[in-house]
Amino acid sequence: MVDTQTQYQKIKSKIDLAIQQVLDSSAYINGKIVQEFSLNLAKYLNVKHVIPCANGTDALQIAMMALDLQPGNEIITPSFTYIATTEVIALLITGKAKDIIMIWLAVTAGLTVYRQPYSMKN
């Protein structure tokens, strides 16, 4: 396992100072420190733009909003995933999609796909 406590202790003063600076500024959303983080991350990744997010659910929502989903679009996601994946899909397609199709995969002699429709109207 990863020993995060030892890692933290090695840079504790830097981490604690950075956290205190954010708390002191009360600028939690797109404040100076977040903007600096964005610039540094974009430089590190060698990309023009990054969007820092509070959590993975926000990141999924922003990415899917960028797709500009339209009625009739199909979104395929594994059934074995965190609830946020389906939650974001349901949020963005409500009123745009007729059905959500639950898909279960089973490996037997080959790959068999089982589909069971779930009406959004239920």
Give me the residue spans of the domains in the chain.
1-52, 53-122
**Alpha-carbon gap, residue 93 to 95, rounded angstroms:** 6
Closest CA to 84 of 113, 50, 55: 55
Contact 96, 71 (CB under 8 A): yes
Most confident residue range from 9-23, 26-40, 53-67: 9-23
**Alpha-carbon gap, residue 15 to 22, rounded angstroms:** 11
45-99 per-position pLDDT tens digit = 999 999 999 898 999 899 888 888 777 777 777 767 787 887 888 787 766 655 6
Greater model confidence, 82 or 5: 5
